[in-house]
Chains A and B, each alone.
Chain A
């Protein structure tokens, strides 16, 4: 059943966000600390375990893969609801602070990536762009 996969996904997100909120309260921070990341870990663990197999294979998997394929359209909608005017109107200071932070961070990616075990480059993308990480 497709809904089983969707329900598992929802349960992972809710559990992750809950733990993230608790972590935030524990640390005295007004933010969710890693809730989405914890949810992702839960989903990865569930999809690897035998117990959850009926929820992550067959039609149930379709329920998760559907949302995974909807991810880019959701990001497009997110882009369309950003406060772009504020970014443009923020003036030189905001522009320079934002650009500076991004440029320096970009430059650090290859520096830090050199540490630790390396992973292989992914094979070139096929034409089916809608296919996301599922089953790679």
Chain B
């Protein structure tokens, strides 16, 4: 047993490939047998991943899901930012420039609209919960943009650490909800072509959420959504501590 543990510990990434492979296989079997293919296998696999992360987080008290379980540390490498970005870029192979051009202007508009709308919703909810200072309202609004924009903005304008933690939580809720919710609403919001996928990526913005949500909906849409989503966090970090903060400060 000790020998097996040693082997697994020394080969984290390889262990991750094996475990994720088994998870994906189980998910596709579940998709076919239990849902007659109605729920996509990759959607089930992502939900299993999130459930495992919740279980692991409650057991270990850590913040990185199953990665905090020593034997599964390789999952962190496989699912970390480096591999995620590498995978996302590879999906652009075979994309036509003409499709990207078509949604160019509306794609840019959707990024601005997405940041502003999410910020307003988050800020209003902060007010509804009794926050009255511009710093807290702005940080929580920025958290509803993404879980990176929240702490970046909060730190820049000097929000309290409790509020910054809340803003991260709001962003994580958003990201997870986009992963799970996208395949469920895809049909009703017309998410079935490159152009609407670019608008979708711009509006949602959370790279992890968009990456997971579109993968579970139709993998061919991933490059279009990811293309716009990747500018969103940058724009959020730009607007959060500056113009959005100034507007909130002028209002309260």
20 A-B contacts (beta carbon < 8 Å): A32-B234, A43-B92, A71-B88, A71-B90, A73-B21, A77-B20, A77-B75, A80-B66, A84-B51, A86-B57, A98-B173, A100-B124, A102-B181, A108-B117, A109-B199, A116-B102, A119-B196, A121-B193, A122-B194, A132-B220
Residues of B within 8 A of A1 (CB): none
Residue B244 is within 8 A (CB to CB) of chain A in the complex: no
The answer on a CB contact under 8 Å between A74 and B106 is: no
Complex formed: what's the CA distance from A82 to B76 in Å?
10
Interface of A is mostly: helix
Q: Closest Cβ of chain A: how far from B229's Cβ, in Å? A: 8
Q: Closest Cβ of chain A: how far from B6's Cβ, in Å? A: 22
A112 in contact with B194 given A88-B54, A93-B140 (CB within 8 Å): no
The answer on a CB contact under 8 Å between B220 and A133 is: yes
Residues of A within 8 A of B172 (CB): 82-84, 86-87, 90, 94, 98
A108 in contact with B121 given A31-B234, A133-B223 (CB within 8 Å): no
Complex formed: what's the CA distance from A123 to B32 in Å?
21
Residues of A within 8 A of B149 (CB): 31
Complex formed: what's the CA distance from A13 to B191 in Å?
27
Selected from A16, A97, A106, A110, the residue in CB contact (under 8 A) with B125 is A97
Q: Closest Cβ of chain B: how far from A135's Cβ, in Å? A: 5
